[in-house]
Amino acid sequence: MFRLTFKNLWARKWRSLMTAVAVIFGIALVAGTYVLTDTTNQAFDQIFNESLAGTDVVVTAKSEVDQQDGSTPSFSAKVLKDVQGVDGVRQATGGIFSTGAILDSEGDSTGGGFAPQFISSTLPETFDTSTYPEGHLPTGPDEATLDEAAAERAGIEVGDTIQLVGVGKAVPFRLVGLMRLGGSSFGGTSVAQVDLPVAQKLTGKEGQFDQISIAADTGISDEELRDRVAEVVPNDVRVETADENADRNASEIRESLSFLTIALLAFAAIALFVGSFVIFNVFSITVAQRTREFGMLRTLGAGRRQILRSVLIESFLIGLFGSVIGILVGYGLAAGLSALLKAIGAELPANSLVVLPRTIIVSLVIGTGVTMVSSFIPAIRSTRVPPIAALQENIVIGGKNRVVLRTAIAVLLGLIGLVLIGSTLISGTDGGSGAASIGAGAVCVLIAISIFAPKLVVPAASIIGAPIEKLGGLNGRLARENSQRNPARTAITAAALMIGLALVSFVTVFASGLSSSVNKVVDDSLPGEITLQGTGGVLPFPAGAIKAVQQVDGVEAASGVRYVSVKVDGKTAPISSVDPADIVKVYTVEWKEGSNTDLTGLTDDEIVIGDKLADDVGAGVGDTVTLVSQKGQEFDFRVRAVMKTDSIELAGQGIVTQTAMERDFKVQSNAVGLVKLDPGASLESTQSAVETALKEPFPTVDVLNQGELKEQQKSQINGLLAMIYVLLALAVVVSLVGIVVTLILSIFERTRELGMLRAIGMSRRQIKRMVRYEAVITAVIGAVSGLVVGVIFAFLIGIPLSGDGFELSYPVGTLVVILILTALAGVLAAIYPARKAAKLDVLEAVSYE
């Protein structure tokens, strides 16, 4: 039996290969994701370990509240004196390592996209593990070094001028050296080094350090020294050995990357889910075609178990083969994914690609597992073939009980899904958890639809086939009839495509909703004409920029907006700060309890809170709320008014004054600036006047009018959308492979019929056209049902989110384009099967048994 299994596989190697493709894509993404994240993690491990090679103990500030930008607080430089006094400390030095902007002499950014740039202080020789392949360390207040890779990217050489921006105006430096850290790559990240006092001034951390590095005397262990240092330092700092610090940093990176891992694995799961439909179909058809062979084996004395085993071994081998190829492809994909991330400006550091045993084991287990599970039902069906089948022309296996069971499962799943969706809608669970439970419900409904699909295929094909029949006459008619001949087969092929397209249309509708919601916020909440942002909308910009803009002719009002995350009653909430005098002119607040005068009259000990936060902590006007800062300090604010929270939380969950923000939370830079022009001022000339005023001192500020702002937001959303499309394309390609295989297998079954058609005068072109039409019908059934399902899901998920001001919009044009593209993809999928059908030798076809 084993030999027979192998021979069968080999005899149908082409089919087996196509079946394997169903898992190859998904597994490639699984393996690729692991390789990518393992490689990145390892690169970060290396960076942290290498940079701390000369350090034994590290002092950093504790962070009580995670910030959205990932920044950590600094601490008082006085701590250094205490540390230096500890017995066993050979040397200790304070350092700065903060985000900033590195610009060339023209004021243009040297980085790209989202990759962070850092301003760092130089370290004494003891701690400095970098090498300087060119030039030397900065020796004065106007000298800087830059990491070698960043200099190369920006085309900057030693001797050139660079500008660094921290919390103030751009400051020019002469580049005196290039820095390299061991063998590590920083990815897209760049680091500029300046002398410690210069770094402190640039980053607004005079009298502060981000870190103290300590070297131990010989004879004292890192742990011992750590404990001794810990006794003398204040409790807002943390003392760790160098290893502990590296591990913590690495695990924080790992955690922040885990989002990426999960997202990519989710797409892999989608591709595998779609692939399982294809596998199921191929095995179902194969088993049906081999009915007579199974019957023959039974007459020869093969038991059911032997038949089952032979089919399962076959699927095991196909799955194993697909997984192995998938791992190899995934290795290549990791490089591709890394390039994709680089393209959207999120380059990850990487040395050589890392393949852990876990990657291989997980990929093999999932790949073979999915294949075997998907082929299980067809395998069971093969055991139901009675020996008599060997002697009969056509035998149909199966009974009513399975129909009942199948219907029961479909109804049950559908109900679970609907209950999940319905209960979420009724209970009105807002935001993320609501969307998640609706998503889970959607998956259940999707499977239920797939199970019911065979019933829908016949009418669907009639409707979709109608225009094709008009267009293609007989070929169209036959194509439509062929697609209806075996509804289960067409249904599963179309369902595979449906899943991919449901997701495509879902994200399309959702993204368009997101864009229009952003537009709505811009229109409704921002009465000003101009918005200021840090370069690329990521980096905060200096507070001085707002003052500069306020001086420009034609500007009526301008307010910066700063953000910080705080804890209120143990919950993390983002709050903002504004210039009370100008804010109501540039930002429209919808009040729940209060009015604009509460904002203009806001004092430094008062806060306006959002209605959500008010509900969460049970606070109202006149109450006192306690905000816990990142450093763990508590600050009391009196609630002056309650505002409604807008959908993008432009004002966060609370508004305080700029003074309070700087005094209590040490935030000195603006994330956004809102500008309103004088009633008569021309937008064009004032905008360019603002640009001119900012260009020299504040080159990191982007000046956008409302139209440009909407465009920028839209292009950011579309960038993300494009990436999701690319990943969903994997699933769609798998389902197209499904169309190809199913068509080929159907053609194989219809050999005699095709031969007859050729014998009575059908030309090769007509045969090809017929096959093509059939593919288009199947593809369009999948596309239309996918679009409908996707739009409905987007609509359903939009309901709980509408509480947050989310507003759906339906990009009809895009959806129609998707539909047409899918139909074209159907034509593409039919190329090979059509050629195969047309090439059938008429003689062989009519005498085919």
Partner 1 sequence: MESTLAAPSQSASSESPIVKAIGIERVYGEGQAEVRALDGVDVSFEKGRFTSIMGPSGSGKSTLMHILAGLDKPTAGSVEVDGEEITGLGDSDLTELRRDKLGFVFQFFNLLSVLTAEENILLPLSIAKKKPDQEWVDQVIDRVGLTDRRSHRPSELSGGQQQRVAVARALVTRPAVLFADEPTGNLDSKSSEDVLALLRGAVDETGQTVIMVTHEPDAAAHGDRLIALRDGKLVHDAPPVSADNVIELLKTLG
Please give the Cα distance from 351 to 345 (Å, whole number).
Answer: 18
Interacting stretch for partner 1, rule CB under 8 A, among 291-299, 307-315, 527-535, 760-768?
760-768
Residue 346 pairs with which residues in a beta bridge? Answer: none
Closest CB to partner 1 among 562 and 758?
758
Q: Is 843 in the site for partner 1 (CB under 8 A)?
A: yes
Instruction: Supply 271's token pair.
Output: 């591709």
Q: Is 471 in the site for partner 1 (CB under 8 A)?
A: no
Closest CB to partner 1 among 77 and 458?
458
Q: Is 777 in the site for partner 1 (CB under 8 A)?
A: no
Size of the site for partner 1 (CB under 8 A): 24
Closest CB to partner 1 among 297 and 743?
743
One of 300, 396, 760, 812 touching partner 1 (CB under 8 A): 760
Residue 212 pairs with which residues in a beta bridge? Answer: 59, 94
Q: Is 66 in the site for partner 1 (CB under 8 A)?
A: no
Q: Is 140 in the site for partner 1 (CB under 8 A)?
A: no
Q: What does the DSSP assignment read for 806-848?
A: ------HHHHHHHHHHHHHHHHHHHHHHHHHHHHS-HHHHHT-
Please give the Cα distance from 745 to 15 (Å, whole number).
Answer: 8
Q: From the CB of 842, what's the least distance to partner 1, in Å?
A: 5
Q: Is 396 in the site for partner 1 (CB under 8 A)?
A: no
Q: From the CB of 462, what's the least distance to partner 1, in Å?
A: 12
One of 471, 759, 816, 817 touching partner 1 (CB under 8 A): 759
Closest CB to partner 1 among 473 and 707?
473
Footprint of partner 1 on residues 353-392 (CB under 8 A)?
none
| Of 667, 668, 674, nearest in space to 564 by CA | 667
Q: Is 289 in the site for partner 1 (CB under 8 A)?
A: no
| Of 13, 438, 52, nearest in space to 242 by CA | 52
Map residue 263 onto helix, strand or coil.
helix
Q: Is 155 left (phi over 0), alpha (psi -120 to 50) or beta?
A: left
Q: Is 464 in the site for partner 1 (CB under 8 A)?
A: no
Instruction: Supply 212's token pair.
Output: 């103290």
**Which single residue is written with the structure tokens 């020299």?**
696
Please give the Cα distance from 492 to 381 (Å, whole number).
Answer: 17
Closest CB to partner 1 among 191 and 743?
743
Q: Is 412 in the site for partner 1 (CB under 8 A)?
A: no
Q: From the CB of 7, what's the least distance to partner 1, in Å?
A: 23
Q: Is 763 in the site for partner 1 (CB under 8 A)?
A: yes
Considering just the CA atoms, what is the radius of gyration of the chain in Å? 33
Long-range contacts of the stretch 460-467 (C-beta < 8 A, 24+): 460/781, 460/784, 460/785, 461/490, 461/777, 461/781, 464/777, 464/780, 464/781, 464/784, 465/777
Q: From the CB of 484, what's the least distance to partner 1, in Å?
A: 8
Closest CB to partner 1 among 628 and 842?
842
Give yes or no for a contact between 334 and 348, defined as CB atoms under 8 angstroms apart: no
Neighbours of 63 (CB within 10 A): 17
Helical (H) or strand (E) element with 708: helix 706-749
Residue 104 pairs with which residues in a beta bridge? Answer: 162
One of 236, 243, 481, 662 touching partner 1 (CB under 8 A): 481
Q: From the CB of 823, what's the least distance to partner 1, in Å?
A: 22
One of 766, 778, 785, 822 touching partner 1 (CB under 8 A): 766
One of 303, 473, 601, 707 touching partner 1 (CB under 8 A): 473
Closest CB to partner 1 among 471 and 726?
471
One of 570, 618, 622, 761 touching partner 1 (CB under 8 A): 761
Provide φ and ψ at 514, rounded to 5°.
-60, -45
Footprint of partner 1 on residues 723-752 (CB under 8 A)?
752
Neighbours of 810 (CB within 10 A): 16
Closest CB to partner 1 among 509 and 757?
757
Q: From the CB of 764, what's the least distance to partner 1, in Å?
A: 6
Q: Name the site residues for partner 1 (rule: CB under 8 A).
A: 473-474, 478, 481-482, 484-485, 752-753, 755-764, 766, 842-843, 846-847
